[in-house]
Amino acid sequence: MPTISVDKAALFKALEKEYTTEEFDELCFEFGIELDEDTSQSTKPEDKAQPPQLKIEIPANRYDMLCFEGIALNLRVFLEKQELPKWTLTPPKSGELETLTIKEETTKIRPLCSGVILRNIKFTQERYDSFISLQDKLHQNLARQRTLVSIGTHDLDTIKGPFTYEALPPEEIEFIPLNQTQKMNGKQLMEFYEKDKHLGRYLHIIRDSPVYPVIYDSNRTILSLPPIINGDHSKITLNTKNVLIEITALDKTKVEIVNHMLVAMFGGYAESIEPINIISPHNNESREAPDLSPREMQAEVDYLNQVTGLNLSTTGISKLLTRMGHTVAPAKADSKLLDVSVPISRADVLHQADIMEDLAIAYGFNKLPRFYPNKTAAVAAPLPINKLGDIVRFEAATAGWSEVMPLILCSHEENFEWLNRKDPGGLAVKLANPKTIEYQIVRTSLLPGLLKTINSNRHHAVPIKVFEVSDVAFIDHAQERKSRNERHFAAAIMGKTSGFEQVHGLLDRVMLMLRSVFITREDGLKKESLEGYWIEEVDDPTFLAGHAAAIKLKVADKTHVIGVFGILHPSVLHKFELQYPVSTLEINLEVFL
Amino acid sequence: MAGRQRGPVPVLEKQSRNLTQEVLDKLDTKEPLQTAEDFPDVSQQEIKAALDRLGSRSMVKYETKETEQVLLTEESEAIVQDGSHEFKVWEAAKQQGGIPVKGLKIEGRPDAWVKAGQGTAIRNKWIKKDGEKFVAVPDSVEDTVQEELKGIQETKSISDAKRLVDLKKRKLVTVGKVLAYSVTKGPSYAKEIPVEVTDLTADMLADGSWKEANFKPYNFNALGAQQNAGALHPLMKVRAEFRNIFFNQGFVEMPTGHFVDSGFWNFDALFVPQQHPARDMQDTFFISDPPKADRPRPDPDTEKQMDAMEAGSRKLFATDDKKETKPRNYEEYWDNIKKVHQEGAFGSIGYRYPWSEDETLRLVLRTHTTAVSTWVLHRLAEDPRPARYFSIDRVFRNETVDATHLAEFHQIEGVIADFGLTLGGLMKFLEDFFSKMGIENLRFKPAYNPYTEPSMEIFGYHVGLGKWVEIGNSGMFRPEMLEPMGLPKNMRVYGFGLSLERPTMIKYGVSNIRDLLGHKVDLNFIESNAAVRLDKN
């Protein structure tokens, strides 16, 4: 969630009230934003050096509250200090709109462009800073680090339309970037900003493309190289009167949302909002931009009342929704419906469910009638594998072993090499983007976690006896999700002697509790109807030679190898840095379901 | 517990001096016995230990007497030894035929004492100034201070209270508390400690010797024997409590047995747009192998588990009317999801962006168990009816690890589906749910969550912290999530969730999540963690 810092005194002036921190916190809580910090209460030198700020967390879908203007406006409307303005377009006196022509080549890199002109805007330092900061916030959030949308703003009096939006090879684009003195072409610009902390991270969006997007005026002056940087020539200053905003994008919906937000937040400082004629015949995107008419939708009175548990009249609903910026009137055709005009600033409203939530917020979540209907009963049931797992957990603990909960993600080495196991490929689920090597795969065995836990507890008196009942995962192409979990039980003992007979005894105990009898291998193989388990010496490099056994279980005439136990090979102990002998046991519990 | 002793009372050790026997001997001739008089040279600790040994066997009884004693300081001990400072000054003046006005040194006496003694000697007219020197005046003096202190040393008391204050002020004496004991014979008094047996044995039962045996008393101040106990993990104990709360409310547990899920179930079906920040590489673990999920399709194994769990409720609520069920259509579900994102549908304008099939089939480690709730709700659309589901299982976030964040944690999730549910009903339900862990007074804050509308953060008042803390998230699932499944419009679904770790950390004052989950957890913490009763303490 974005956090916006606003000047405390200025905001309280805008809200026409000197709130205490607690009162303002309460207002935020009711409205659904969050006061993170009031720096007037801070003792940090950097906070004391500037006038008190309020740091406010904004929900990720409220793009209309990403600057001081938006927070002040929405709260004023909520507090009924004003109604939300109705933004309208004013064509220039000449009647001739500025035009921006989109060339077809732009489809190769960044096909969409929109824009607007703010005439006779009055900037102050605060407004100017807020204007820049809003663009930055929009770039970070809605525009996904400028990949989807990017904004350029220009002093219209330094350039001359008509404008063109083109896509050209980088070498052919030459200009002085914002706040630089040297002319450079597209290629040189990439090298120049390679190490730039701020801009370096956006270069990848176009760097390897054969053509770069670029906006020209009628004198071939470059306005900007989106989504990287504007030209120095047309930069805006505190004295700029007429601002041209151009917005390039990959996403049709978001380009207009961004346009709406800039107009709604800063249109109020301008004398008029002037549309631009966009000419883009090749993709049917020719139009006048922006369209500032509110979005008309309908909401059902019954639905609004039912879900909130209220019984409000249409007037009552209308009054409350006005506080959230909507204009509401009963539908002419149907008295059960409301016509709702959703303002351009409320891009988050998609469905009447959003109107219903706004109604609940305006009414006050905590004032809604809290009432749970006594009409349904339900029958509980545990998931069978969890019930089985719990049985094994309780038996292991009762037998004197302690339960541990290591992580499910681990490194490839821990899961394979350190246990002297080879990755056969196609067994373990591998992560594409881990932040550390600790998380490379989803474990296929519980042993690494147990051994790491013992390693972190070397200060504990021996013997250490630990167990875990939890899931491992395997690749399984037969499944929709190409993988499946398997519930395992594993235990490990570290002591002055190997503890081999201890894990063996724990196995016998758990088997007894699961109603599985011990049978000899010969009997198991001979008598078909006999059910039970037996163990067989096995050659397994995880374990000391001659001290490992496979556990075999016969159920319903089928023999399963359900696991293995043994004394860990000293090379395994060495990898996990364990100084005493360790014996382990691991079995698959799924067969007992 | 460190330092406390386990097991029975310590065995009587052979000492060079058998104090216990001496006490018994003395008591034979003198009762009551006063330790201060009869054993003046034995330390209080030693005599107390001997009396306790006898007392625990009822051989003696004793009363503790606390008395005050006036004790000499280092300075006054020096005075008792050699005389007062003024005496020493007079003596020096006499022996040396005069002493310098300043800088007189007397062996064994610090300068400050000498200086004070010189002042007193002048006041006493024991010395007087003669030119550059002090000379002795009388030939002999009576050192009353030394005499007085000698008396105090012998009697350890002063009768004159005013004088005591004066001496204390001059740091010549201190007053200390001394414990002494008045000892009488106990009911089992004997002249010797009888032979003792440590424990009742089978042999003693067999031969009847237990009747005459003299059992060594048990030390009731010590801990019992160490139990080689196993232990359940504290988080799993808290999980058990939450499971019980859910079971008591009739919730069916959801089949969460797959860590890997597709973008479809984890995001798209929940109306999370494909450009949502949660789907960033920074937040979600994507899978490189296996490469890609199948489109959603029937899953007979999981289906069977659900059928088995819901058999009870189907049986109980069965009626004679034949209910029509509408088999799930996965193709249609897929198309609905695509449409609701791309163009809008079911009364929603949608997000209006080109929906990518590749993106939805990407495999991820589930970021929430709500992915499973989605699957279960889609199943419910076959036969929409009131239902309650829950799960508690592991979820994964590609977080940078710190004191409050791990790449894995447990999500507790509850889902209630019913017709005509209200927002206030969810608040009421949650009030009841959280009251079972002792949290009363809930407040709800409007919040944003792509798949619930309204979305509410749940705040509870934490008495210990003295503030409102966020304890969970809740909301009603969006129509854009439910209606594409085929659920009827008037069926509403509550969803609420919290992590298992956070309430456990708050409840038990654990400040670092790594002390609770993962391989770095201290085994001693697991082994000594008390049973979990969320409704108590």
Shared-domain flag, residues B141 and B290: no
Confidence band for A246, pLDDT divided at 50, 70 and 90: very high
CA distances from B484 to A330, A355, B93, B347, B479 (A): 29, 20, 115, 11, 8
CA A428 to CA B314: how far, in whole Å?
Answer: 39
Shared-domain flag, residues B523 and B484: yes
pLDDT in tens, B233-263: 999 999 999 999 999 999 999 999 999 999 9
Mutate to test the interface with A, among B246, B493, B519, B526 (most CBs of A within 10 A): B519
Shared-domain flag, residues B414 and B379: yes
Q: What was the pLDDT predicted at B77?
A: 86
| Residue at which a domain ends, from B123, B151, B171 | B171
Nearest by CB to A384, which of B262, B305, B456? B305
Please report whether residue B225 resides in a domain.
no
With beta carbons less than 8 A apart as the criterion, state whether B389 and B243 touch: no
With beta carbons less than 8 A apart as the criterion, state whether A308 and B425 touch: no
CA distances from A270 to A10, A85, A90 (A): 20, 13, 11
CA B506 to CA B208: how far, in whole Å?
Answer: 57
Average pLDDT of span A339-354: 97
Q: What CATH number corresponds to the domain at position B25?
A: 3.30.1370.240
- Give the number of domains in chain B: 3
Q: With contacts defined as CB-CB under 8 Å, which chain A residues touch B376? A: none
Tally the residues of chain B.
Answer: 537
pLDDT in tens, A66-97: 999 999 999 999 999 999 999 999 999 888 99
The secondary structure of A341-373, three-state, reads EECCCCCCCCCHHHHHHHHHHHHCHHHCCCCCC
Q: With contacts defined as CB-CB under 8 Å, which chain A residues touch B405? A: none
Confidence band for B81, pLDDT divided at 50, 70 and 90: confident
Portion 26-55 of A in contact with B at CB < 8 A: 29-32, 34
Which residues contact residue B79 at a Cβ distance below 8 angstroms, ignoring those fewer than 6 apart?
B85, B145, B146, B149, B172
A286: closest CA of chain B, how far (Å)? 19
Which residues contact residue A431 at a Cβ distance below 8 angstroms, ignoring those fewer than 6 apart?
A409, A439, A440, A441, A442, B285, B286, B287, B288, B365
Q: Which of A577, A573, A570 is nearest to A455 (CA)?
A: A577
Nearest 5°: phi and psi at A22?
A: -65, -45
Mean pLDDT computed over every residue of chain A: 94
Please report whether residue B240 resides in a domain.
yes
Shared-domain flag, residues B57 and B91: no
B347: closest CA of chain A, how far (Å)? 6
Tell me if chain B has a CB within 8 Å of the CB of A380.
yes
B314: closest CA of chain A, how far (Å)? 9
B263: closest CA of chain A, how far (Å)? 10
Please report whether residue B33 resides in a domain.
yes
Q: Would the pLDDT of B3 be above 70?
A: no
Portion 414-453 of A in contact with B at CB < 8 A: 426, 429-436, 439, 442, 449, 452-453
Q: Any idea what DSSP says for residue A41?
A: G
Shared-domain flag, residues B68 and B78: no
Please report where in the chains the tokens 């006496």 appear, as a residue: B109
Q: What was the pLDDT predicted at B4?
A: 44
Shared-domain flag, residues B327 and B434: yes
Q: With contacts defined as CB-CB under 8 Å, which chain B residues touch A371? A: 422, 424-425, 428
pLDDT in tens, A551-591: 999 888 888 999 999 999 999 999 999 999 999 999 999 99
Shared-domain flag, residues B363 and B260: yes
Q: Would the pLDDT of B313 be above 80?
A: yes
B13: closest CA of chain A, how far (Å)? 30
Q: What was the pLDDT predicted at B16?
A: 59
Other beta carbons within 10 angstroms of residue A589's beta carbon come to 21
Nearest by CB to A405, which of B235, B388, B396? B235
Chain B nearest-CA residue for A404: B233
Q: Which domain holds residue B122?
A: 74-171
Please report whether residue B299 resides in a domain.
yes
Confidence band for B537, pLDDT divided at 50, 70 and 90: low
CA A233 to CA B153: how far, in whole Å?
Answer: 101
Q: With contacts defined as CB-CB under 8 Å, which chain A residues touch B247? A: 380, 382
The secondary structure of A501-532, three-state, reads HHHHHHHHHHHHHCCCCECCHHHHHHCCCCCE
Please report whether residue B216 resides in a domain.
no
CA distances from B392 to A382, A385, B236, B501 (A): 11, 13, 10, 11
Q: Which two tokens stand for residue A106?
A: 């732009």
Helix axis angle, A252-266 to A68-78, nearest 10°: 80
Q: What CATH number corresponds to the domain at position B365?
A: 3.30.930.10
CB contact under 8 A, B425 and A406: no
pLDDT in tens, B138-188: 888 888 888 888 888 888 888 888 888 888 888 888 888 888 899 999 898
A470: closest CA of chain B, how far (Å)? 10
Q: Would the pLDDT of B10 be above 70?
A: no
Shared-domain flag, residues B79 and B61: no
B499: closest CA of chain A, how far (Å)? 16
Residue A486: burial class (beta carbons within 10 Å; 0-12, 13-18, 19+): middle
Please report whether residue B295 resides in a domain.
yes
Q: Which two tokens stand for residue A376?
A: 């349904």
Shared-domain flag, residues B342 and B468: yes
CB contact under 8 A, A431 and B261: no
Q: What was the pLDDT predicted at B174?
A: 87
Q: With contacts defined as CB-CB under 8 Å, which chain A residues touch B316? A: 379
Which residues contact residue B525 at a Cβ distance below 8 angstroms, ignoring those fewer than 6 apart?
B234, B515
* DSSP bridge pairs for A141: none
CA B459 to CA B469: how far, in whole Å?
Answer: 5
Q: What was the pLDDT predicted at A530?
A: 76
With beta carbons less than 8 A apart as the criterion, state whether B241 and B533 touch: yes
With beta carbons less than 8 A apart as the criterion, state whether B52 and B183 touch: no
CB contact under 8 A, A456 and B519: yes
Residue B65 CA, chain-centre distance (Å), reads 39
pLDDT in tens, B355-376: 999 999 999 999 999 999 999 9
CB contact under 8 A, B260 and A482: yes
Count of A–B CB contacts within 8 Å? 305
Shared-domain flag, residues B281 and B180: no
Residue B238: burial class (beta carbons within 10 Å; 0-12, 13-18, 19+): buried
Mutate to test the interface with A, among B445, B474, B522 (most CBs of A within 10 A): B445
Q: Which two tokens stand for residue B141?
A: 């003096």
B9: closest CA of chain A, how far (Å)? 25
Please report whether residue B453 resides in a domain.
yes
Given the cut 0.85, state whether the ipTM is greater than it. yes
Chain B nearest-CA residue for A486: B257
Q: What was the pLDDT predicted at B1?
A: 36
H/E stretch holding B337 reads helix B330-342
Shared-domain flag, residues B164 and B199: no
Shared-domain flag, residues B184 and B324: no
Please report whether residue B224 resides in a domain.
no
Average pLDDT of span A178-194: 94
Q: Would the pLDDT of A377 be above 80?
A: no
Q: What are chain A's domains?
A: 3-78 (3.30.56.10), 98-289 (3.50.40.10), 295-365 (3.30.56.10), 384-592 (3.30.930.10)
Tell me if chain B has a CB within 8 Å of the CB of A399.
yes
